[in-house]
Amino acid sequence: MKRSWKLVVLTLFVLIFVCGGWSVSVPGEQKRVNLSSSFVQNTLQDGCDWPSFSRTPDNNRVAPDGCGPKTDNLIKVWKFKAGGWIGSSPVVSGNMLYFGSDDFRVYCLNARTGRRIWEFQTGSYVMSTPTIFQNRVYVGSHDNKLYCLDAQNGNKIWESEVKGYIMSSPIISYSRIYVGSSNNRLYCFDLNNGAKIWEFQTGFLGSINSSPAIFDGKIYAGSYDKKLYCLDAKTGSKIWQYETGGWIESSPAISDGYVYFGSFDSRLYCLNAQTGQKIWDYMTGDEICSSPAVHSGKVYIGCKDSKLYCIDAKTGTGLWEYETKKDIKASPSLINNKIYIGSEDGIFYCIDAISGKKRWECEIGLVDYSATISGGYIYVGSFYDKELYCFGDLSLAPPKGTCCDNCTDCNKCMAFKVGSKDWFICNQLQTPMNTAPIIKNGRTFLVIRYIAETIGANVDWNATSQTVTITDPKNGKTIQLQINNNIATIGGKKVQIDQNTDVKPFISEGRTLLPLRFVVDSLGLDLDWLDQTKEAIICYKDPMCP
């Protein structure tokens, strides 16, 4: 990758001020939502949304029950290759996913399929995790700007410039947005137009790379001047500060009147959120870049000593620890007593939150960023591989014992399921169908365009005669079927579609549905019908292959 000398110098500067390199800290979520913020009520339109780095402004990093996979049998549903190293954690709002990259871009993908919807180019690296609020995307960049984009199309609505690069992820309360910067300042901007309302300056070399937390009208932020600050969210005036023995990159989490955060002095701290008085600290084996997750009286946090820790939230007593093979800089994400977290050993883990035992793992490459849980899926990026992964239940994929087990560059498969709009090509989820396959008169019908276009066939619709014409790509042979007619034409010859004369093409929800078996056989494709699960597996040769 070619870079100018200015970018090289900037890169070296960033490496000095980041935990061991390219790592971004992230916050969390908690069960109760008694927040002095309109963020939760207005942003979490879908109860499974994860619209900011830590999901809610108190940074507890917990997804509601039912928002993750149902089992530990997970598969890669899809992966997306970015143009550069993935620079942030993904966030999800509705059916759209957003993340930043070091190719100077903010990406928006379809969260179900991984299909790119839009991208927005900034002037430098995007290592700030976006925040989604009221159909807008707020994200910082290394070009010293905070951007507000239209969430649907990526068009810029406004930008605000600061005097340092932004790695901190913005957080929102009422009509204000807060974000930290490398120029030793925490900023408060007007949410609607980006006008600066106030700024707070930390100490010397007090870069704020972590993401602030908001609770009860107060904003909490850690700094590289080794201090955690509590400010009045309305005025920016300092309420209290607490000094540790090392840089603070960990994003604070607020729970039950306490604030939890890690420090480069190898300690996890618990302070009184009102006064800043230390309640306890817990000594680990190395620097802490990870941000804590707090749930059910326990604090979970990763460490550069390669361990994930579970600590009693009230007493600071260590309950268990799980050791990986390399540093953990990512932050844990929780759901249903499961912890999802990646390590620099290249493994993405699911750890039991009660016992500390491993439940599942998958090798995806170095993981410095945190996972997002939303809509039954887990999303996480692999840094150097430049790939964003979506994991889901194994039940989503085509069953074993079919040609889907042995897909090659040329030999492929499609999988459809009656009643589901989801369909797969070689275990990769595609854009959902407009109309799900159904069974009528004992036969399976579906919108045949999905099959035909996949194998390179052409489909024409004549509205006047209500006739569908499919042209076979191999030999140019045509197949014609007419709505409510049980006689079809193949290569100019009339044939009966099925022994059951009630099996005829029909229109449902404005879409033309054709009998699956008849069309597949006419095109010379192999069809496996799994009666128990009502799934159709179609084996075919890629039309690009000789």
Give the model confidence (pLDDT) of 137-183 as tens digits: 999 999 999 999 999 999 999 999 999 999 999 999 989 999 999 99
H-run or E-run covering 15: helix 5-16
3-state helix, strand, coil in the chain (%, to 5): 5, 40, 50
For the chain, state the CA radius of gyration. 26
Cβ 392 vs Cβ 509: under 8 Å: no
Q: What is the mean pLDDT of residues 338-355?
A: 96
What is the per-residue pLDDT for 46? 56
Q: Can you name the residues that pair with 444 across neighbouring β-strands?
A: 439
**Residue 534 vs residue 321, higher pLDDT:** 321
Buried b (16+ CB within 10 A) or exposed e, 22-37: bbbbbbbbbeeeebeb
Residue 122 has pLDDT above 50, yes or no: yes
Hey, what's the torsion of the CAs at 283, 284, 288, 293, to 10 degrees?
-80
What is the per-residue pLDDT for 267? 98
Q: How many whole angstroms separate alpha carbon 306 and alpha carbon 95?
A: 34
Q: Can you name the residues that pair with 158 across neighbouring β-strands?
A: 148
What is the per-residue pLDDT for 75? 85
Confidence of residue 41 (pLDDT cuts 50, 70, 90): very low
- Using DSSP's 3-state secondary structure scheme, residue 397 falls into coil
**Continuous H helices in 430-478:** 449-454
Give helix then strand counts, H and E, for the chain.
4, 46
Residue 328 has pLDDT above 90, yes or no: yes
CA distances from 427 to 406, 412, 431 (A): 11, 10, 13
Q: What is the mean pLDDT of residues 90-114?
A: 95
Q: Can you name the residues that pair with 260 across neighbouring β-strands?
A: 253, 270
Residue 484 has pLDDT above 90, yes or no: yes
H-run or E-run covering 40: helix 39-43
Q: Mean pLDDT lowest for which of 7-21, 22-36, 221-235, 531-545?
A: 22-36
Q: How many whole angstroms separate alpha carbon 1 and alpha carbon 319?
A: 45
